Each structure stands twice: as structure tokens, then as C-alpha cells.
Structure 1
Amino acid sequence: MAARSGRRRAIRGWLGKACTVIAAAVLVSSVGAAAAPAAPIHAPVLRAPAGGYEELWVPSSMGPIKIQVQWAARGGGAALYVLDGLRAPNDHSQWTSDTDALRQFANDNVTLVFPVGGRSSFYTDWYRSSSTNRQPITYKWETFLTRELPDFLAGYGVSRTNKAIVGASMGGNAALVLAAHHRDQFRFAGSFSGFVNPTFPMWNQAMRAAMWDEGQFNVDDMWGPAGDPAWSRNDATAQAERLRGLPMYVSSGNGMPGPPDLPYGAVNTVNAMALEAMTMTAAQIFRDRVAALGIGARIEIGNGTHTWPYWRQGLANARPMILDALGAH
């Protein structure tokens, strides 16, 4: 869960059964060279420098949604969707500013797609607009990511079916859930420090506190009260059977800080430690569930906290699996 606020800050968030809000965010200045939007063509071409991106606006039921795109190095149709965290900025993806994701895939034959915005959305279709912050639109992120965005990118030669999807924190569970319900579209799914078991007791209240802290959003308008079927539908662990046969990478830290945490300061590191202890529990629950079902997945739990340097490394670890699944070397 991350957002913009001047220079680099570490994650703020929530913890505990009391659902006390712990502040959360990691921030660095924006990087990348964005070109002006271009009209769709029939095949992708490299429009931005290697390691850079182009910005496009995609029509949707929520209004125009910005995406940042690094085109496949050799004009291939494969795509990787990369999802942000809870505090997703409305002007850029933090993957393009806080990690080297662009550089990692600069020479690969896969188009990287970074949706912009969607803070506190969990990248899902909400029942209705949030009633506690006068939200003018109803979030429909599943519709956007699985219908409107693929249709738009098809005009640029990007495949609707040869895609991978990954995400950090809020985006981690969403990546697995979207792949579970749209197996015809995604050939790989990955989660980095994702809360992949939101139906775990009391976690709905933790989400309520976090979403209120980030924009005064109402979780009941998203999936209804605890026990509503939408909670189970949007729980990667509950939907594990639908992921059978899909290459997956799930990573989490154990809350123990390391050298990547040094720039963030003691207070922020403590908050990030607490958040990552929660994602570790979720990753362990998911690991046990898929093991019981006999479903293959690469699941790694090591030292680390809820911060971008660890998610950058998670993406680097997943990269060979992504390229293999997409045939995009």
C-alpha cells in the first residue's frame, strides 16, 4: 500500500484485531520519459526509449483511465499488467517511480502495462460508489482490466489472451483473483506482499480501517458486510481451485527489516514490519491451501518488510517465470 508525499516515505497501514490504523506509504519522485498519446495502430512498435514509457488514456465506465506502457522490445503481442498498492497515486504508477520494473523488462518481448489510479479499490467491481466520501463514480476495475483495457490495447496489437498479471500489497490479491476468474486471459499471476486471504477473521475490519484512512472509502460499498459472497469471490485463497494449472509466484517478507529499509527511518520501518507480518500469515495460509489441493505454485517467504525494494526484487524473481509463461523471451 503506497502513495505519493514529497520525498520517499515508507508504508503506512493498519494492524491488529483492534483495527487501529497505522499510517502507510512509500514515496519517491517520478521517473520515466512519457511520450504524447498516439492513435491506435495495428501492431505495437517501440515508441518510448528502452526503460521508458508512453502514457495513454483508455475509455471506461469510470471515465478515462491513464495507463503507462512500455512496448514489447520486438513487437510481440504478450503483455504484463502490473497493479499498484492501496495508496495508488492518480498521476502515475509507483512501479514506474519506485522500482526498476521498466529496466528489468526493457529488452524483453512483452508489453508492460501499468494502470494508474484506483486507490482503495482493490481492483474490483464495487457494488456501488463509496457512500462516505461522495465518490462520484462506482469503481469497476475488474471490468476495466478484463474488458475495456484489453479491447483498447488490441488496437495496438496487444493480445487479449497472452497476458500475465502481478501486483503488490492491495494489487497482489487482486492479481490472483482476476486470473482465477478470467483464466482465458491470463497465463501467469503473481503477488508480492499481497493480502491473499481477506476473509480471514477480522481482516475485513482491518481493511475497513485502512480504506477509511486512505480516502474515507467504505468497504461495505465494495463487497458488502463480512460474509457477503463478494468477500469469498475476491479471496485468492478461497478461489484457489480456479488457479489450478496456472503458473504462480507468491512472495512475502516475514517482517524482519534489512538494508533496503535503512532509508525509511525507524518509525516507518516498524509500521512496514507490522504490515508484512500480516501478509506473511496470508501467504502461509495460501501456501497450505494450494498444497492441500495439490496445486503447484512458487511461494517464497523470507526476510523483508512492506516496502518497494522488496517488491522490486519479487518482480525480478518472477520475471523468468513470466517470460516462460508468455513465450516472450
Structure 2
Amino acid sequence: MKFNIPSFLALALFYLVTFHAIASVDTVTTFSAAMQKEIKAVVITPKEYSQDKDYPVVYLLHGYSGNYKNWIEKVPQLESYADQYGLIIVTPDGNFGSWYWDSPEVADSKYETYVGKELVEFIDNEYSTIPSREGRAITGLSMGGHGALYLAFRHQDTYGSAGSLSGGVDIGPFPENWEMKKYLGIKAENPERWEEYSVMYQSNRLLPNKLALIISCGTADFFYNVNVKLHEKLAYNNIPHTFMTGPGGHTWEYWADAVQYQLLFFHNYFEAGK
């Protein structure tokens, strides 16, 4: 049988697009009324995405000095995970080092309001989502791991599940690092504020089984000790959670591996709520 090469290639391309479509990766621009500026985010929708179905959403936060593109550039497998689990993944911009706080020192840094309220409202309005806490999860790496738990603990009516990957979950031991004093003031002058804005302190808001929690950190990570401390505090307070640890440092290699287990955890949470 003789093939016309251009026709054969066209047929092959049609087959690939029709039967092997993958997730859609889009960049959206949102407007924060709280900060009076436009902010970008990546939105990954599964290949089966349809307006006739409602999908759960996972918000995935970047770390210090990162941006909204980091996750999809470093972990392109997120596309296949969105397909596999039938969910939407959103990776917002958290500025260079906002720590996802509404800063008491920097008036135009209100990333708790943006990620915890404005962005959620935008995604629910623009996409076919499950618009309730039962259909939302949030996690992130490093600064974003802190941000994810901080937001989830403070907005338990918004998120039903939350995680952290190598999160800076206790900021107290790091008063000179990552520009935190720019957003909170000097720790020695604002000790109560530094407690209040830390995940470790915010964990006191939790009630047993209110949030489905998963915390991951490598044993070679400089945040490992504070993650162990949070795990022990949650256990002492009878807060159920999954704590995953193993070899690994503060690296994309570790996060690329660990995030797949967190997405499975969120998928199981979403499925249990159906």
C-alpha cells in the first residue's frame, strides 16, 4: 500500500489530537481589587474538561523568589495528573516574597485576600468548578507550603483539604531570612505578630477532621525540623493528618516526586465527598 506522505502525516496528527489530547494549560490575568493590580496565574484543565461537569480545584503555590510559571515549567507532569484525576490545577503568582500574608507593613501586599478570596471567586466564575470547600484543596512548596497551610487554617470555609511541601511552617527561627521582616516588621519589635503570622500558631484554629491534611518534607531539608515540630503539635492536639518524609532536600527533584502523592491524596478526598 502506497501512502501520500502529507496525507499520512495529517491523518496521524488528527489521530493524536483526537485520541491523545492532553490537558489544556492557559495563562489567565486576574484583577485584585485589594491591591489594585493585575496578577497572572496558570490554569490547567483536564482533557475531558466540559462545561457540563463540575471539577474539583487544587491551588498550587510557588516558593520565595518564584512566580506563577514555576510549577508548570519545572513539573510538566502536572498536565497528566490533571487528566488522570480529572481536576483543575491553578498556580497563582504570590509575588517575589509575599509569604501569602496580608502584610501589616506593606499596604499593597494582600496575598491572603487575593489567593484566599479574589482568585477563588474568579476561578469559580470562569470555570466549571465544584464551588464549595468540598471541591477545593491548596498546597505549595517552601514559602508556598507555609502559605497553603496558613490560608487553609484561616479559611476553613473555603478549603476542605490542604498540604505543604517543604513548607516554612514555623517562621520564628528565621527572623533575618527571605524578606519576612519587610512584610512583618522586625521580630524583636513585633514578637506577637511573628507568632500570629506563623502556621505553627495558626494551627490552634484547627478542630479534629475539619481539614484533610498532608505534610511532606525531605530529611535533608533545612525546614525539616520545623515540619517535624508541626507534625508533633498536630498529633498532640489530636488533629488527624498525613506526614510524609524521606530522603530529599529543598529541591525541585523532591517536590516533583512528592507532589504526585499529594495530588493523589486530594483526589481521594474529592472522591470520598461524592
Q: Pairwise mapping of residues 286-305 of structure 1 onto structure 2 (< 5 A)? A: 286-305=230-249
Q: Which amino acid is the alignment partner of residue 321 of structure 1?
A: F
Given candidates 243, 247, 267, the residue that maps to 1:323 is 267
Moved over 4 A (4+): none
SS in 2 for 1:82: strand
* Aligned equivalent of 2:184: 223
Taking the aligned partners of 1:164 and 1:176, their CA distance within structure 2 comes to 10
Q: Which amino acid is the alignment partner of residue 243 of structure 2?
A: I
Given candidates 196, 215, 233, the residue that maps to 2:196 is 233
- Whether the aligned pair in 2 keeps the contact of 1:70 and 1:111 (CA below 8 Å) is yes
Structure 1 residues 143 and 160, CA, compared in 2 at 3 Å: closer, same or farther?
farther
Q: Which amino acid is the alignment partner of residue 155 of structure 1?
A: N
Is structure 2 residue 110 aligned with structure 1 residue 113? no
Q: Which amino acid is the alignment partner of residue 26 of structure 2?
A: E
* Aligned equivalent of 1:66: 40
* Aligned equivalent of 1:140: 110
**1:291: Cα distance to partner?**
1.3
**1:222: Cα distance to partner?**
1.2
- Whether the aligned pair in 2 keeps the contact of 1:187 and 1:326 (CA below 8 Å) is no
Q: Which amino acid is the alignment partner of residue 82 of structure 1?
A: L
Given candidates 39, 55, 62, the residue that maps to 2:27 is 55
Is structure 2 residue 27 aligned with structure 1 residue 83? no
**1:284: Cα distance to partner?**
1.0
Q: Which amino acid is the alignment partner of residue 248 of structure 1?
A: L
- How many pairs align? 239
Alpha-carbon displacement from aligned partner over 1:48-76 (angstroms, at most 9, x marks no partner): x6234111111103301111101254442
Taking the aligned partners of 1:198 and 1:87, their CA distance within structure 2 comes to 17
* Aligned equivalent of 1:204: 175
**1:149: Cα distance to partner?**
0.8
- Whether the aligned pair in 1 keeps the contact of 2:94 and 2:111 (CA below 8 Å) is no
Unaligned runs of 5+ in 2: 1-20
Q: Which amino acid is the alignment partner of residue 53 of structure 1?
A: V
Taking the aligned partners of 2:238 and 2:199, their CA distance within structure 1 comes to 16
Relative to the length of structure 1, the TM-score reads 0.68
Alpha-carbon displacement from aligned partner over 1:255-290 (angstroms, at most 9, x marks no partner): 1xxxxxxxxxxxxxxxxxxxx1x2111111111111
SS in 1 for 2:265: helix
Taking the aligned partners of 2:27 and 2:98, their CA distance within structure 1 comes to 21
**1:300: Cα distance to partner?**
1.6
* Aligned equivalent of 2:13: none
Taking the aligned partners of 1:300 and 1:220, their CA distance within structure 2 comes to 30
**1:116: Cα distance to partner?**
2.5
* Aligned equivalent of 2:144: 171
**1:233: Cα distance to partner?**
2.6
- Pair member with larger Rg: 2
Higher relative helix content: 2
Q: Provide the identity percentage.
A: 24
Taking the aligned partners of 1:190 and 1:289, their CA distance within structure 2 comes to 16
Unaligned runs of 5+ in 1: 1-48, 130-136, 212-218, 256-275
* Aligned equivalent of 2:161: 188
Structure 1 residues 52 and 77, CA, compared in 2 at 3 Å: closer, same or farther?
closer
**1:160: Cα distance to partner?**
4.8
In angstroms, what is the RMSD of aligned CA positions? 2.0
Is structure 2 residue 70 aligned with structure 1 residue 94? yes
Alpha-carbon displacement from aligned partner over 1:175-210 (angstroms, at most 9, x marks no partner): 11100000001111111111111123xx112x2xx3
**1:117: Cα distance to partner?**
4.6
Taking the aligned partners of 1:107 and 1:316, their CA distance within structure 2 comes to 11
Taking the aligned partners of 2:206 and 2:42, their CA distance within structure 1 comes to 28
Alpha-carbon displacement from aligned partner over 1:83-139 (angstroms, at most 9, x marks no partner): 0010113xx42110001222222232221111035111111111233xxxxxxx721
SS in 2 for 1:59: strand
**1:253: Cα distance to partner?**
0.9
- Whether the aligned pair in 1 keeps the contact of 2:166 and 2:250 (CA below 8 Å) is yes
**1:172: Cα distance to partner?**
0.4
Q: Which amino acid is the alignment partner of residue 87 of structure 2?
A: V
Structure 1 residues 223 and 160, CA, compared in 2 at 3 Å: closer, same or farther?
farther
